[in-house]
């Protein structure tokens, strides 16, 4: 049966690292709205310019823009056995939009839909964001304080200069947490009420969280 996996959790809760690994493990596409929007900005398109003005403020990009990108991806042939969707939905309105998109793509075929919630102690997350760096080539995520590269600012694997996301500054990060608690956190109850919420403890090492994630995905 097709596996539709979506992920909830506050900024920097470790979803990106785990969902990247999960998509490789399952052989399903990793659809990450934040990265898709950053690619749109890098392309210099008008939509990218619009997205940037919201991302820089830590706010949600308008639903029309994100939904168009997601609908196209989810209808792709590569999603026919399943997908790993990271960063969408991020509001109740988007959750309803996702239901409509899935219905359109799947029709009456049975699917296994799981909303996996990364439950984590939020105090440490701001520091995870402010010190975060990533490799523009392989996507590996580092942290200047908690997981530094062997040579400062250089990827251990690719030997290229690490990048810091424009929205990973203290001011924007704080706004992203406000947006998360106001608009995204209510989705936990939304999916719980539907009986499709799976909560995992996201405190701990990458490998510990991975084991917990696999247990839920394979359940």
Q: Is 165 a catalytic residue?
A: yes
125: its two tokens: 């997350």
Does residue 184 interact with ligand AMP by CB under 6 A? no
Nearer to ligand AMP, 23 or 33 (CB): 33
* Contact flag: residue 176 with ligand AMP (CB under 6 A): yes
Note whether 94 binds ligand AMP by CB under 6 A: yes
Q: How many CA atoms lie within 13 A of 43 on its CB side?
A: 12
Select 39 or 151, whichever has its Cβ closest to ligand AMP: 39
Catalytic residue selected from 38, 73, 128, 132: 132
Task: Please list every residue from 185 through 204 that binds ligand AMP, using CB under 6 A.
Answer: none
In this chain, which of 5, 66, 105, 213 binds ligand AMP, going by CB under 6 A? 66
68 labelled catalytic? no
Determine if 125 is a binding residue for ligand AMP (CB under 6 A): no
Contact 67/47 with Cβ under 8 angstroms?
Answer: no
The residues of the shown chain that bind ligand AMP, judged by CB under 6 A, are 11, 33-34, 37, 54-55, 58-61, 66, 87-88, 90, 94, 167, 176
């Amino acid at each position: 049966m097709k596996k539709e996996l979506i992920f909830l959790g506050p900024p920097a809760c470790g979803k990106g690292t785990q969902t990247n690994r999960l998509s490789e493990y399952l052989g399903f596409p990793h659809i990450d709205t934040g990265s898709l929007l950053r690619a749109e900005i890098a392309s210099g398109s008008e939509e990218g310019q619009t997205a940037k003005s919201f991302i820089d403020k830590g706010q949600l990009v308008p639903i029309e823009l994100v939904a168009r990108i997601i609908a196209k991806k989810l209808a792709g042939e590569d999603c026919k056995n399943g997908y790993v969707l990271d960063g969408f939905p991020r509001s109740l309105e988007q959750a309803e939009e996702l239901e409509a998109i899935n219905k359109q793509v799947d029709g009456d075929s049975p699917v296994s839909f799981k909303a996996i919630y990364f439950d984590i102690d939020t105090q440490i997350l701001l520091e995870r964001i402010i010190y975060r760096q990533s490799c523009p080539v392989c996507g590996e995520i580092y942290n200047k304080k908690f997981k530094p590269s062997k040579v400062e600012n250089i990827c251990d694997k690719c030997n290229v200069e690490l990048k810091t996301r424009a929205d990973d500054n203290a001011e924007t990060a704080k706004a992203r947490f406000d947006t998360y608690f106001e608009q995204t956190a209510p989705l936990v109850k939304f999916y719980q009420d539907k009986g499709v919420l799976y909560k995992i403890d996201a405190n701990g090492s990458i490998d510990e969280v991975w084991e917990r994630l696999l247990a839920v995905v394979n359940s």
